C-alpha cells in the first residue's frame, strides 16, 4: 500500500514540470478496505497535492461502489498555477 502512495506522490511531483500555469487536474480514485480497516485514498491524495504546492484542492464524492458498504468513488481535483 505504501508503494502505491509513494509512486503517486512521485508522479505528482514530476508532473509539475510538465504543467502549464492554471492547469487543472482530476483523479478518480476509490477508498479501500483491508481487514475492516478503511484507507481514505482521496484524503491521502489531497494531502499529497497540498504538500507539493497544488491549489484549489477539492474532493467530490461521485458514487457508491457496488462491492461493499462504505466504499465510494471520488474525484480529487487540484490546479497548478506556478
The β-bridge partners of 75 are: 28, 60
Q: Report d(CA 48, CA 8) in Å as an integer.
A: 8
Question: pLDDT (tens digit, 9 = 90+) per residue, 43-70?
Answer: 999 999 999 999 999 999 999 887 767 7
Between 5 and 34, the more confident residue is 5
Residue 68: what pLDDT?
A: 61
**pLDDT > 80? residue 28:** yes
Domains of the chain by start residue, with CATH: 2-80 (3.40.50.150)
Q: Is the pTM of this model over 0.85?
A: yes
Q: Over the chain, what HEC string results?
A: CHHHHHHHHHHHHHHHHHCCCCEEEEEEEECEEECCEEECHHHHHHHHHHHCCCEEEEEEEEEECCCCCCCEEEEEEEEECC
CA-to-CA dists, residue 44 to 9, 40, 51, 64, angstroms: 10, 6, 11, 19
Amino acid at each position: 500500500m505504501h508503494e502505491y502512495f509513494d509512486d503517486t506522490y512521485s508522479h505528482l511531483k514530476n508532473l509539475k514540470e510538465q504543467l502549464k500555469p492554471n492547469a487543472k487536474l482530476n483523479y478518480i480514485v476509490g477508498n479501500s478496505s483491508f481487514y475492516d480497516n478503511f484507507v481514505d485514498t482521496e484524503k491521502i491524495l489531497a494531502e499529497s497535492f497540498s504538500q507539493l504546492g497544488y491549489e484549489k484542492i477539492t474532493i467530490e464524492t461521485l458514487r457508491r461502489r457496488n462491492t461493499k458498504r462504505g466504499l465510494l468513488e471520488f474525484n480529487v481535483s487540484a490546479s497548478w498555477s506556478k
